[in-house]
Amino acid sequence: MSLLSQLKDWARRIRRDAVAVYFAARDPRTPWLARILAVAIAAYALSPVDLIPDFIPVLGYLDDVLLVPLGLWLVIHFIPPQVLSASREKAASLLARPRSYVAAAWIVGIWVACIVALALWWQSR
């Protein structure tokens, strides 16, 4: 197995675990501390906003490479094993679904329309 394929596999597991942590946070069997950590880590991992912007050379990707995996590792240790297993299965099935580019285009179009409407409203003031 090449280094590149190992890195891709690691990135897929991180992504799956980020979604699994989100599902685990919604499970009533998860302790409250794990829920709070899970929501914070999942929100940060799935958010387009980073602590250190990606355009800053080297440091920009440092948070993605270090903070997210460390946060996931921490929260996974607080989640009961049966909850984590079920959450990983849900995450894997969700990520295996085909993506609808038409739906994505509609969502982007709605956001653009809202921004244009806001800009026109702002300009008319």
d(CA 73, CA 15): 13
Confidence of residue 3 (pLDDT cuts 50, 70, 90): confident
Residue range 7-46, pLDDT digits in tens: 888 888 888 888 898 899 899 999 999 999 888 877 777 6
Q: What is the pLDDT of residue 58?
A: 74
Distance (Å, rounded) from C-alpha 11 to C-alpha 3?
A: 12
- b/e for 13-35, b at 16 or more Cβ within 10 A? ebebbbbbbbbbbebeebeeebb
Say how far apart CA 20 and CA 77 lie, in whole Å. Answer: 13
pTM across the whole model:
0.63
